[in-house]
């Protein structure tokens, strides 16, 4: 039987384990579980009927269903560890849909709950760019030119837990650039994790999140916030507090 073809799978990965912030994906941000921020904009985008939660937790799975997400499987614990790659999480979802539901997707959008401030408009715009420019991969990016290589140091030794003796990098080229004016810094971009979109065939064949033609879409400093630490969460809470007055 021929597989049912669909344009887009929106995949939201939310495992149960987190060391930096316990129960991170269900922790409250402005009174809502972190997962709900991503679920809402993914569903509101109307880009796909297949907005799917990948989790190893029955508790998170139940929350996902209450938020309107599809939860057609529970992710194996071995794919929900600290060092589990997102590539393997995506490949697992692709395999489950192919083997259990006879479904195949042209492309996959990965939306991590740790990026709560991406908007519906940003999601739609990114998918339109992905298709218009016939990309194999789209990632959202942030300008980090202020952290140019010419400003970096290496740690020679630790003097105290919060004090280091520094040394200049060994790279002669970077030493020569020491003292460069900020206005002359080379523009450097960093993938911020807010949105990923992949051509499914390219991802599987290359066994990489960054195979083929990769395009980057800049996002602002709020949209690019990724909550990994308690400090990130504190910043997000300050932002949501401020949003009430905008």
Q: Which residue has the tokens 């599987």?
A: 204
- Answer for the pair 167, 154: CB distance below 8 angstroms, yes or no: yes
CA 244 distance to own-chain centroid: 25
Q: What is the pLDDT of residue 245?
A: 42
Q: What is the pLDDT of residue 61?
A: 98
Collapsing DSSP states into helix, strand and coil, what is residue 138? strand
Q: Which residue has the tokens 């990309």?
A: 135
Enumerate domains of the chain plus CATH numbers.
4-141+191-243 (3.90.550.10), 146-184 (no CATH)
Q: What is the pLDDT of residue 145?
A: 80
Q: What is the pLDDT of residue 19?
A: 82
**What are residue 9's DSSP bridge partners?**
108
Q: What is the pLDDT of residue 74?
A: 97
pLDDT in 10s for each residue of the chain, 246 residues: 556 667 999 999 999 988 889 899 999 999 999 999 999 999 999 999 999 999 999 999 999 999 999 999 999 999 999 899 999 999 999 999 999 999 999 999 999 999 999 999 999 999 999 999 999 999 999 988 877 777 778 899 899 898 999 888 776 555 555 556 666 677 788 999 999 999 999 999 999 999 899 999 999 999 999 999 999 999 999 999 875 544
Tell me the C-alpha to C-alpha distance, in Å, between residue 75 and each of 61, 92, 93, 121, 242.
10, 8, 8, 29, 36
Q: What is the pLDDT of residue 5?
A: 67
């Amino acid at each position: 039987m021929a597989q049912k073809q669909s344009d887009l799978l929106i995949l939201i990965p939310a495992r149960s384990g987190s060391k930096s912030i316990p129960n991170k994906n269900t922790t409250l941000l402005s009174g809502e579980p972190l997962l709900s921020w991503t679920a809402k904009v993914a569903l509101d985008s109307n880009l796909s009927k297949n907005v799917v939660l990948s989790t190893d937790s029955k508790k998170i799975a139940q929350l996902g269903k209450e938020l309107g997400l599809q939860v057609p499987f529970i992710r194996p614990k071995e794919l929900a560890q600290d060092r589990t790659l997102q590539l393997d999480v995506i490949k697992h979802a692709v395999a489950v849909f192919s083997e259990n539901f006879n479904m195949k997707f042209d492309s996959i959008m990965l939306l991590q709950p740790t990026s709560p401030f991406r908007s519906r408009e940003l999601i739609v715009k990114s998918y339109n760019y992905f298709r218009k420019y016939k990309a194999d991969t789209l990632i959202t990016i942030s300008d980090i030119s202020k952290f140019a290589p010419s400003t970096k140091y290496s740690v020679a030794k630790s003097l105290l837990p919060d004090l280091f003796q520094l040394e200049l990098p060994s790279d002669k080229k970077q030493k020569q650039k020491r003292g460069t004016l900020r206005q002359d810094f080379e523009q450097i971009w960093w993938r911020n994790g807010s949105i990923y979109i992949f051509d499914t065939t390219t991802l599987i064949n290359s066994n990489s999140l960054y195979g083929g033609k990769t395009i980057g879409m800049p996002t602002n400093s709020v949209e690019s916030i990724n909550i990994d630490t308690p400090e990130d969460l504190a910043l997000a809470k300050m932002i949501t507090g401020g949003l009430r007055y905008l």
